[in-house]
Chain A
């Protein structure tokens, strides 16, 4: 009997100690948990520091995607007002978040480091349509630290000017 009273006292002491300890609650909308550096959230398409889009419409992300989330249609750049360095740019870029499993294979496949999975995880919405992200929702117009690589893109002046041998 005395051991059980002792055990009860031990338990009571434990809970009393917990009463004065710091709380683990994270008050979500105001405070957010620190996410890992490599956290895979919503997609974004980054831009070079000079404002050109990094996406060159190569469709490698579309091929890499195991869930058929990404749809890319490429188009030719207008040499006077190019969207991206080089010949092509992503004309249409869709990410169907309802299908996405956030595996990050698209990010790995991207040759220009354009596609990036952000820290943003709050993607709830009311309609299916709004969860299919279009290009204008995906492109981050804030220039990133990336510079247009030299010796990769020859000066592009339009298809007719290029001499294909």
Chain B
């Protein structure tokens, strides 16, 4: 089949398009599932049941929410820069969804559990898309022509840029250990041991910066609705706000995927289960999905537990703790690779 698919550039293009649509659909469905899980789990974490009214066990609440978002009035502030105002949430959403294109779902020999693209600069593409998504935030706050939005967008932009640095440093540790930036190579290098074992410092740094990058609790200052009036999307309403909201969810999903690919061994069988005979029957993609679900659960767990950080502490934590720790991790990895 693979031979047929690469026989003509047009067929290959069509196949990539189909895969891209499938992945985009999957990630949006995943975001809806994530939102459902978020509502239910946060409820259970706080002595509540979460939504129970719409559909069985409240499962269709997401659909009701989406319909509500879409039929709300699309408010455009009078003084806003209309074109940029419209463009900004699209940039944010685009970068979040298109980052999913480089996520490998399974080993390259399985056809369907595959990925849209496996560029040899995979993880760098992801970091680049993350850098572009900052524009969605910065332009959104700028185009709103609202001082609070502008301040909020500056705050969020500074946060994202600061933590991107520590995140990139943590990723370099992986690249040193693997010798490749291709995500499939990185996963294959973890066949025996996931990278969380030798690179626990890198894992901690990457995990924390992933939370900060996607403005997840304890770093959700961009949308501190109780004290900072929503930050950069103060002026957004209806589905434009929905795009920011959804983009954030998708970005968190992508980060969960990347954490499981980079540090938890991707689709490899977990090392503590590898002794079970016949465990290889379970499809590789299932392991990947299970790991992503686990990471998402830890996200939700943190969301239910932690209060929001103060802005100056967020900054000093990023620059004075995470960056040195990721540098230390980098040095350890470099020395390890050089010596052995």
Question: Which residue numbers of A lie inside 8 Å of B, CB to CB?
Answer: 8, 11-12, 14-16, 18-19, 21, 23-25, 27
A27 touches B46 (CB 8 A): no
Known: A11-B305, A11-B306, A12-B305. A18 touches B49 (CB 8 A): no
Q: Write out the residue numbers on chain A whose beta carbons fall within 8 Å of the beta carbon of B44.
A: 18-19, 23
How many B residues have CB within 8 A of the partner chain?
A: 14
> A16 to B304, alpha carbons, bound, how many Å?
9
> A11 to B303, alpha carbons, bound, how many Å?
11
Other-chain residue from A11, A12, A16, A24 in contact with B48 (beta carbon distance below 8 A): A24
Q: List 29 A-B contacts (CB under 8 A).
A: A8-B305, A8-B306, A11-B305, A11-B306, A12-B301, A12-B302, A12-B305, A15-B45, A15-B301, A15-B304, A15-B305, A16-B301, A18-B44, A18-B45, A18-B46, A18-B47, A19-B44, A19-B45, A21-B47, A23-B43, A23-B44, A23-B47, A23-B48, A23-B49, A24-B47, A25-B43, A25-B47, A25-B48, A27-B52
B49 touches A27 (CB 8 A): yes
Q: Write out the residue numbers on chain A whose beta carbons fall within 8 Å of the beta carbon of B45.
A: 15, 18-19
Mostly helix, strand, loop or mixed at chain A's interface?
Answer: helix
Q: Write out the residue numbers on chain A whose beta carbons fall within 8 Å of the beta carbon of B47.
A: 18, 21, 23-25
> A16 to B48, alpha carbons, bound, how many Å?
14
> A24 to B48, alpha carbons, bound, how many Å?
6
Q: Write out the residue numbers on chain B whose beta carbons fall within 8 Å of the beta carbon of A12.
A: 301-302, 305
Known: A15-B305, A23-B49. 13 other contacts (CB 8 A): A8-B305, A12-B301, A12-B302, A14-B305, A15-B45, A18-B44, A18-B46, A21-B47, A24-B48, A25-B43, A25-B48, A25-B49, A27-B52
> A104 to B94, alpha carbons, bound, how many Å?
63
- Interface 0/1 of B39-66, CB less than 8 Å to A: 0010111111100100000000000000
- Interface 0/1 of B1-29, CB less than 8 Å to A: 00000000000000000000000000000
CB distance from A146 to the nearest CB of B (A): 42
> A19 to B302, alpha carbons, bound, how many Å?
13
Q: Write out the residue numbers on chain B whose beta carbons fall within 8 Å of the beta carbon of A11.
A: 305-306
Residue on A with the closest CB to B307?
A11
> A150 to B41, alpha carbons, bound, how many Å?
64
Q: Write out the residue numbers on chain B whose beta carbons fall within 8 Å of the beta carbon of A21.
A: 47
CB distance from A79 to the nearest CB of B (A): 57
CB distance from B297 to the nearest CB of A (A): 10
CB distance from B120 to the nearest CB of A (A): 38
Q: Write out the residue numbers on chain A whose beta carbons fall within 8 Å of the beta carbon of B301.
A: 12, 15-16
Q: Write out the residue numbers on chain B whose beta carbons fall within 8 Å of the beta carbon of A25.
A: 43, 47-49
Residue on A with the closest CB to B302?
A12
Residue on B with the closest CB to A22?
B47
> A16 to B302, alpha carbons, bound, how many Å?
10
> A58 to B43, alpha carbons, bound, how many Å?
54
> A74 to B225, alpha carbons, bound, how many Å?
60
Residue on A with the closest CB to B48?
A25
> A128 to B45, alpha carbons, bound, how many Å?
42
> A111 to B82, alpha carbons, bound, how many Å?
74
